[in-house]
A = this chain, B = another copy of it.
Amino acid sequence: MAHRDDRAVTVTGIAGVLEAAVYAGDLDAAEDFYGTILGLERIVRAGNRHVFFRAGPTVVLVFNPDETARPAANPALPVPAHGATGPGHICFSVPDGVRLDALAARLERQGVAIEADFRWPNGARSVYVRDPAGNSVEFAEPRLWDPS
């Protein structure tokens, strides 16, 4: 697993982002978008509270903020409460332009509008759509963040 590669671990012990979260009131719609349309493997769905997906070495957490804002029900797993509202943001790595073209075409075939599609000053391309909850979902060539 990439995040176990010790070469990238900071002096404080952090190897990278393991989980990114977005919030959605309608988890069925979120599951259709992240699972069916984006093709991410669903790890677990917990009723109306959350649905989680695997994305390479990372995990996407889709939470219903009405549920996660409540204190944890299981004292053995005292997960702190959280829950944001309004449009959040997440960006997925798409390794090259050919794959990004194919993904953009797939999104349009599935009825997902492309909100923006441009190149950053370093040449890396980003494509933006909205998930059903209105979160800004970006797909970018990872060289966007290469050290200059």
State the A residues within 8 Å of B (CB). 1-6, 8-21, 23, 38-41, 43, 54-61, 63, 65, 68-69, 76-95, 99-100, 102-103, 106, 115-116, 118, 120, 128, 130, 135-136, 138-140, 142, 144-145
Tell me if A118 and B77 are in contact (CB < 8 A): yes
A99 contacts which chain B residues (CB < 8 A)? Answer: 9, 13
Name which residue of chain B comes closest to A75, CB basis.
B118
Tell me if B142 and A21 are in contact (CB < 8 A): no
A86 contacts which chain B residues (CB < 8 A)? Answer: 65, 69, 82-86
Q: Known contacts A90-B21, A92-B17; is A2 also within 8 Å of B57 by CB? A: yes
A100 contacts which chain B residues (CB < 8 A)? Answer: 13
Report A67 CB to chain B, min CB distance, Å.
13
- Once bound together, how far apart are the Cα atoms of A137 and B85, in whole Å? 17
Report A102 CB to chain B, min CB distance, Å.
6
Q: Known contacts A80-B115, A89-B82; is A94 also within 8 Å of B55 by CB? A: no
- Once bound together, how far apart are the Cα atoms of A19 and B144, in whole Å? 11
Among A2, A115, A145, residue most surrounded by chain B Cβ atoms (within 10 Å): A2
Name which residue of chain B comes closest to A104, CB basis.
B13
- Once bound together, how far apart are the Cα atoms of A5 and B87, in whole Å? 30
A81 contacts which chain B residues (CB < 8 A)? Answer: 87, 136
